[in-house]
Amino acid sequence: MFDTALTTNDLIFLAKGAGMTLIVTAISVFFGTILGIIFGVIRYQIGPWWAAPLTFVLDIFRSIPLLIQLVLANAFVTTVLGFRVSGFAVACGVLSLYTAAYCAEIVRGGIEAVPQTLRRAARSLGMTWGQDMTSIVLPLATRVALPSWIGLALGVMKDSALVYIVQVVELLKSTQILITRLQEPLFLLMICGLFYFLISFPIARFGSYLEKRWSND
Amino acid sequence: MKTSFFAFSLLAVSAVAMPAQADKLDDIIASGTLRCAVVLDFPPMGSRDENNNPIGFDVDYCNDLAAALGVKAEIVETTFPERIPSLMSGRVDVAVASTSDTLERAKTVGFTIPYYSFENAVVANEKVEMATWEDMKGKVVGATAGTYEAIWLEGKVKEWGVGEFRPYQTQADVFLALSQGQLDATVATVEVSEANVKSGNFPGIKIVDKAPMVPDYVALITLREEYGLINYMNLFINQQVRTGRYAELYKKWVGDGEPASLIVEGVYR
Amino acid sequence: MFNYNFRWNQALNSLPDMLQGALVTMEIAILSMVIGISVAIVLTLFRLSGNRILSAISATWVEIARNTPALFQIYMVHFGLGGFGVHLSPYLSLLIGIAFNNAGYLTENFRGALKAIPDTQTRAARSLGMSSIQAFQSVILPQMLRISFLPMTNQMVWAILMTSLGAVVAMNTDLYGVTSDLNARTFRTFELFAIAAVIFYVITKVITLSARLLAARLFRY
């Protein structure tokens, strides 16, 4: 099994693919989280009735396969509108909105978990809405939301394997390219799977550790 | 994201502001780069060397075209099902990707005159008893989704009414499945089949028979409305044959022997 | 408005084929959930068994399913097992790949649900003379399934979305497979995938709504 034609060059090639996976994930999680917080606060603030259009749009991102979202967005922006946009930009755009759709739910759940009475108490102490949000809601909601958010970020990393469809060469695609040349599918797939696992597993563990620690008191 | 939105608006503004009719040929020369879609799991037409750089007949052909235009070539890897979408999405300027000139595709993209012509072979797993192409009847067969061979083969399976057809996403997956025994047989171009059998990368496969298909003429493709570029490439293909470069590339990638004829007998063009 | 000629007619002609594919998609999703839930119950029992090897199997399964991409898992089922001479059809590869993923996530959900069920219940059941299996089956299991009903609904939606990954193992009868096959032939990418997106949306909505109705019926007390 370890008698392989894999060279250092190939490992560098794989590492580049892994780098692409991490970059796409980082960009998407960053913008997705910012958007998600904005959408989540809006949804909570204006109530379910007025937020219905926003809820509907965000729900679409959670009800259609990511693969189809990528293909559609790519076809729409480049073929229908005729813009020259790289596959990388399309991938980051779609994944950001995808992240935002899930993040908005997490944020809303986090805010709802903060007891109303606590917030009323804060406001009656003379705090403004902004002060209430930053000093009362933010720290408490974060405790509730952070473990789910970690799960979301890891989910986005795994889902980023699908951006191959818009010609972004990430980890799984680089693995397939090497398989084409070297014909060692099992060995190469193991390496690829191991990489995802090594990134995801410790962070997931950390997430459940936080969840356990914070839910005890 | 921000920068791309900025780029969007910039593009939108420039599209309104510049009524000049620069076509793709002008754009390529002005930008200094020719972006070619090439399929890289299709040896000897396209593959990767040990440093994972693209090599092959199609890669050289793209480089020649870029040299003729006086620009730099950029090879963009695509799979067979993805090559026309990547052209439509403006990710590449042309596809040098062994694209069969079917009438269905011509509804969407513009074809040049043929630059190569394939014959197709039936390749089978060694453990499967097969003597002629007709023995594929009732077997599990497969090919790369959307290719000329795949459409032919799926049609045959439907006509026979027995057996199973599986469209894989890449040529490499087809041969991997064949080598593992998941497929009993496939149809692939003779060149590619021979290269794959010879490389030893796919143990346990053998060439059985020629597939009874008309010669598979493949052409360069670009957007349907880019007549300027299509004219240029037609002349380029003619020149490649005339100057002997075509024969040279054939010898380099496919082997000794007469290069595949690009003439269709008995028809004007 | 757009510099693009929509050919909706051509795409809409394929609607019957796509709806047929939607049925296959739902079939795979439902089967994968049935298998996934059953396996997850077994894995939960493994974890509770106190046997080291059995709980290690359970833990490994859960961690691999949760920490690698689903696309990777499905590809592995087809070409990975294929390397060992285990040949599965595209349909089975996709079904098993999704069921594997479902089982991993559901086992984790069940673990969370079990925490919410007081230990004293098991003890009470045992002291009534039930065997540990009886106690699990008739006291713990129903509550566990009830508590994890919402996560199970979510997983069901995931299962539907995951069927779209079947194309990598040459699956061409489900909704995504049919669409991508048509696309490889006619290149009406936007039109075809827009229709597929609408169908997927409707399926997921139907699933979540019927799950909600089912929950209202089942858990009325």
Arithmetic mean of pLDDT, B11-30? 69
In the DSSP assignment, the letter for residue B81 is T
Cis peptide before B44 (omega within 30 of 0): yes
Residue A216 is predicted with a pLDDT of: 56
Q: Give the count of alpha carbons within 13 A of C158, CB side only.
A: 25
Which amino acid is located at A2 in the chain? F
Q: Chain B: nearest CA to C122, how far in angstroms?
A: 49
Tokens standing for B72?
């730099």
Percent of chain B with pLDDT over 70: 92
Residue C204 is predicted with a pLDDT of: 95
Which amino acid is located at A197 in the chain? F
- SS3 string, C12-30, reads HCCHHHHHHHHHHHHHHHH
Answer yes or no: is pLDDT of B68 > 70. yes
Q: Which residue has the higher pLDDT, C184 or A171?
A: A171
C-alpha Rg value of chain C to the nearest Å: 21
b/e sequence B145-166, b meaning 16+ C-beta within 10 Å: bbbbbbbbbbebbeeeeebebb
Listed by start position, the domains of chain B span: 22-118+216-253, 120-210
CATH for the B120-210 domain, from 3.40.50.300, 3.30.360.10, 3.40.190.10, 3.40.50.2000 = 3.40.190.10
Residue C66 is predicted with a pLDDT of: 94
Residue B1 is predicted with a pLDDT of: 47
Distance CA C168, CA B173 (A): 9
Assign B8 a pLDDT band (cuts: 50, 70, 90): low
* Nearest to C153, CA basis, from C111, C221, C107, C215: C215
Helix axes C149-162, C15-48, angle to 10 degrees: 130
| Share of chain B residues as helix, strand and coil, in percent rounded to the nearest 5 | 40, 25, 35
Answer yes or no: is pLDDT of B217 > 90. yes
Q: Which residue has the higher pLDDT, C2 or B250?
A: B250
Distance CA A183, CA A5 (A): 9
Q: Chain A: nearest CA to C178, how far in angstroms?
A: 13
Answer yes or no: is pLDDT of B266 > 90. no
Residue B6 is predicted with a pLDDT of: 54
Domains in chain A, please, with CATH? 8-173+183-215 (1.10.3720.10)
SS3 label, residue B166: strand
Q: Which residue in C6, C64, C68 has the most chain A C-beta atoms within 10 A of its own C-beta, making it the best mutation to test that interface?
A: C68
On whether any CB of chain C is under 8 Å from the CB of B163, the answer is no
Q: Tell me if B95 sits within 8 A of B82, measured CB to CB.
A: no
Listed by start position, the domains of chain C span: 9-218
Distance CA A199, CA B253 (A): 42
CB contact under 8 A, B164 and C172: no
| Residues in A touching B53 (Cβ below 8 Å) | none
Q: Chain A: nearest CA to C215, how far in angstroms?
A: 20
Percent of chain B with pLDDT over 90: 62
Same fold, B22-118+216-253 and B120-210: yes
SS3 label, residue B108: coil
The CA-atom distances, in angstroms, between A113 and each of A103, A119, A122 are 15, 11, 16
In the DSSP assignment, the letter for residue A80 is I
Residue A1 is predicted with a pLDDT of: 42
| Residues in A touching C205 (Cβ below 8 Å) | 63
Tokens standing for C57?
């199997």
Which amino acid is located at B141 in the chain? V
| Residues in B touching C172 (Cβ below 8 Å) | 145, 166-167
Tokens standing for A59?
């729900």
From first to last of its 221 residues, chain C has per-residue pLDDT tens of 466 778 888 888 999 999 999 999 999 999 999 999 999 999 999 999 889 999 999 999 999 999 999 999 999 999 888 888 899 999 999 999 999 999 999 999 999 899 889 989 989 999 999 988 888 888 899 999 989 998 999 999 999 999 999 999 999 999 999 999 898 888 888 999 999 999 999 999 999 999 889 888 887 65
Tokens standing for A180?
């084409």
Q: Chain C: nearest CA to A165, how far in angstroms?
A: 11
Residues 6+ apart with CB under 8 A from A17: A169, A170, A171, A172, A173, A174, A175
Which amino acid is located at C106 in the chain? L
Tokens standing for A128?
């403004």
- B74 bridge partner residues: B35
Q: Chain C: nearest CA to B206, how far in angstroms?
A: 18
Among B11, B50, B90, select the one facing A9 at the smallest CB separation. B50
Domain B22-118+216-253, CATH: 3.40.190.10
* Nearest to B179, CA basis, from B203, B153, B208, B147: B203
Answer yes or no: is pLDDT of B161 > 80. yes
Q: Tell me if B197 sits within 8 A of A204, measured CB to CB.
A: no
Among A65, A81, A186, select the one facing C176 at the smallest CB separation. A65
Q: Which residue bears the tokens 């440093």?
A: B51
| Residues in B touching A181 (Cβ below 8 Å) | 47-48, 50, 52
CB contact under 8 A, A89 and B51: no
Residues 6+ apart with CB under 8 A from C111: C44, C47
The CA-atom distances, in angstroms, between C18 and each of A63, B91, C183 are 17, 28, 12
- Count, in order, helices (H) and strands (E) of chain C: 12, 0
Residue B260 is predicted with a pLDDT of: 84
Residue B20 is predicted with a pLDDT of: 54
In angstroms, how far is CA B186 from the centroid of its own chain?
17
In angstroms, how far is CA B253 from the centroid of its own chain?
15
Mean pLDDT check: name the lowest of A55-64, A154-163, A183-192: A183-192
- Which of B17-21, B228-232, C117-121 has the highest average model confidence (pLDDT)? B228-232
Tokens standing for C203?
């399926």
Among B1, B90, B202, select the one facing A84 at the smallest CB separation. B90
Assign B19 a pLDDT band (cuts: 50, 70, 90): very low
SS3 label, residue A29: helix
Q: Pairing mode, if any, of strands B140-144 and B185-189?
A: parallel
Tokens standing for C161?
């979305």
Answer yes or no: is pLDDT of B231 > 80. yes
Q: Helices marked H in chain A — which ranges? A: 8-50, 52-63, 66-74, 87-113, 116-124, 129-131, 138-159, 171-182, 185-215
CATH architecture of C9-218: Orthogonal Bundle (1.10)
CB contact under 8 A, C82 and B81: no
| Residues in B touching C94 (Cβ below 8 Å) | none
Q: Tell me if C106 sits within 8 A of C152, measured CB to CB.
A: yes
Length of chain A: 217
Interface A-C, measured as beta-carbon pairs within 8 A, has a size of: 97
Among C87, C180, C189, select the one facing B182 at the smallest CB separation. C87
pLDDT, tens only, A98-157: 999 999 999 999 999 999 999 999 999 999 999 999 999 999 999 889 989 999 999 999
